[in-house]
Amino acid sequence: MKSQKTQSAINTYLKETGGWVASQLEACTRCGICAEACHFYQALGNPEYAPVWKLEPLRRAYEQRFTVAGKFKLALGLDKKLADSDLEHWSKIVYEACTVCNKCAHVCPMGIQLGPLIHAVRAGMAAAGLVPADLAEATEKQKTIGSPLGVTDELWRERIDWITDEWEAEIPVDKVGAESLVVFTSIELMKFPDNLAAIAKILNKAGESWTVSSTGREVVNFGYFEADEELTRLFMHRVFKAAEELGVKRIIISECGHAYDAFRWAAPNLMKVPKGVEIVHISEYIHHLWKTGRLKLKEGAFDGETITFHDSCKIQRRGGIIKQPRELLRQLAPKSFVEMTPNKEQSLCCGGGGGVISIKEADANRYAVFEMKMAQLQEIQAKAVCMVCSNCRLQFVDSVGHFNLPIKVHGLAELVSKALI
């Protein structure tokens, strides 16, 4: 049955389907190699988790509405129309078994951008109101309260004050005329305050003129997880507005992958972005400060235990910040820094990104994926792992606890702040 829901989803797919989408859908040869890349398929073995299968709703909408062959196939009974039940079925697949990490695009012999296309599939789900309840709830919180974790303005101020006291790190709030606006995630604020404090310390040490904003205080974008365009825009708009009001030159995205992806690559195509405002990720900025001599780091501060680096999908594979964190780590632990394989662009995903970690039903999926990550860590006998994404870090901390592993999980900024001279 086709209801208003399905109609909205189909409309969204039609809207999304430009030459960019169509040419890639047409290029697919149904070879199934993308399944090799997908950590959810590899971990769970469910063929429905093959990335190309996740595009099925988009493919059907495109073929059946825009092509003669698709209509022909329908008439011959070789294909099915999209129904409510289909969308519900795929909603679980695209939200609970996909981190939109885009590794599939790197193995696809045709180079199809499966990640962005799955994002488009999610957009249809969002329009149809078929987002998993937990994710929808967090999004609603971000929309109304301003943070997916439900951090209210008062709570936010309290936490900032508390961090300032606890770590003796000064955090300028709403300082007009600052050069950089640093935007944190609620995850850091609530769960990894050490990371927030570390960033503050580093920036202060480097003599950076920076500030945080009380209105643009949330960098996480649950609209982007959902792939709801309007909400994505709304959440980014809050930050951009704050940046304009404060007159900053750059927005520093804290350790958050999705946010970096949204601000750096998606925003210019979705909305008006303030001119002359540069978007940088904290890890590349720290690297920049270190390289320009504004920071001095103790060499070998973390030598001893084997430490490795986890590449995040949005910051490394899709963000290109690959060599900077590695250079920093080689400075911090030249002897004990060991790479996992595969790494860099080919790295294995943590399993919690793309909103998966906020969905309770997906816990089994994400733990299964983490077992593969675990095997990778054990292969090099890592005692500690470092990363530049709070979402990954949340998944690591949670899963390390779940599996009772003797592995320490660090944010890069946290390590850097401890090695400051």
Partner 1 sequence: MKEKTIYEHLREKGVSRRDFLKLCGTIAGMMGLEFVAPVKAPGKSLSPSPEEIVAQALKTRPKVPIIWLEFQDCAGCSEAISRSSSPLLSNLVLNDIAIEYHETLMAASGFQAERAKEECLKKYYGKYVLVVEGSPTLAEDGIYCTVAGKSNLDLLKEAASGAAAVIATGNCACFGGIPAAHPNPTRAVGVADLIQDKPVINIPGCPAIPEVTTGTILHFLIMGQLPKTDQLKRPLPFYGNTVHDHCLRRPFYEAGKFAGSFDDEGAKKGYCLYQLGCKGPTTYNACAGLKWERGLSYPVQSGHPCLGCSEPHFWDGGGFYQGQSAPTIRLDKGSTATLVGAGVAVGAGLAGVNALKKSRAKKELKKQQASEARAETENKKEG
Partner 2 sequence: MNWTEILNFSRGPLLHVAMIIFIAGLSYRLVRVLLLGWERDKAKNKGSKFWGAIVNYLKGLVVLPFIPWVRRTFRHNELTFIAGGLFHLSLFVILAFGTAHIMVWKSLCGFSWKGLPTPILAFFSATGIISMVILLLNRLTQPVLKLLTRFPVWINWLVVFLPMITGFIMARHLWFKYEVIFSLHLISVSLLLIWIPFGRISHFLFYFFSKTIHGAQAGKRAVTP
From the number of C-beta atoms within 10 Å of its C-beta (0-12, 13-18, 19+), residue 292 rates as: exposed
Q: Judged by CB under 8 A, does residue 24 bind partner 1?
A: no
- Which conformational region is residue 177 in: left (phi greater than 0), alpha (psi within -120 to 50 degrees), or beta? left
Choosing among partner 2, partner 1, none, which partner's interface includes residue 375 (Cβ < 5 to 8 Å by kind)? none
> What H or E segment, with its residue span, contains residue 280?
strand 278-281
Q: Using the 8-state DSSP alphabet, how is residue 344 labeled?
A: G
> How many whole angstroms separate alpha carbon 41 and alpha carbon 82?
24
Of 15 and 402, nearer to partner 2 (C-beta) is 15
Among 2, 36, 46, 66, binds partner 1 (CB under 8 A): 66
Q: How many residues bind partner 2 (CB under 8 A)?
A: 60
Among 10, 61, 100, 108, binds partner 2 (CB under 8 A): 108
Q: How many CB atoms lie within 10 A of CB 8?
A: 18
* Lookup: tokens for 204: 């202060």
Piece of 61-69, 131-139, 196-204, 237-245 that binds partner 1 (CB under 8 A): 61-69
Backbone angles phi and psi of 373, in degrees to 5: -60, -40
Among 2, 14, 157, 374, binds partner 1 (CB under 8 A): 14
Interactions with partner 1, residue window 72-131 (CB under 8 A): 127
Backbone angles phi and psi of 297, in degrees to 5: -120, 140
Choosing among partner 2, partner 1, none, which partner's interface includes residue 339 (Cβ < 5 to 8 Å by kind)? none
Piece of 98-106, 290-298, 353-361, 401-409 that binds partner 2 (CB under 8 A): 98-106
Q: 257 near 313, Cβ under 8 Å?
A: yes
Q: 3-class DSSP state for residue 102?
A: coil
Q: Which residue type, as a one-letter code, is found at position 295?
A: L
CB of 3 to partner 1, least distance (A): 13
CB of 241 to partner 1, least distance (A): 20
Residues in contact with partner 1, shown as a per-residue x/- string from 206 to 235 under the rule CB under 8 A: ------------------------x-----
Chain center to CA of 295: 28
Chain center to CA of 171: 25
Binding site for partner 1 (CB under 8 A): 7-8, 10-12, 14-15, 17, 65-68, 127, 230
Binding site for partner 2 (CB under 8 A): 17-24, 26-33, 35-37, 41-42, 45, 47-48, 50, 52-53, 66-67, 69, 73, 78-79, 103, 105-113, 264-269, 316-320, 322, 341-342, 344-346
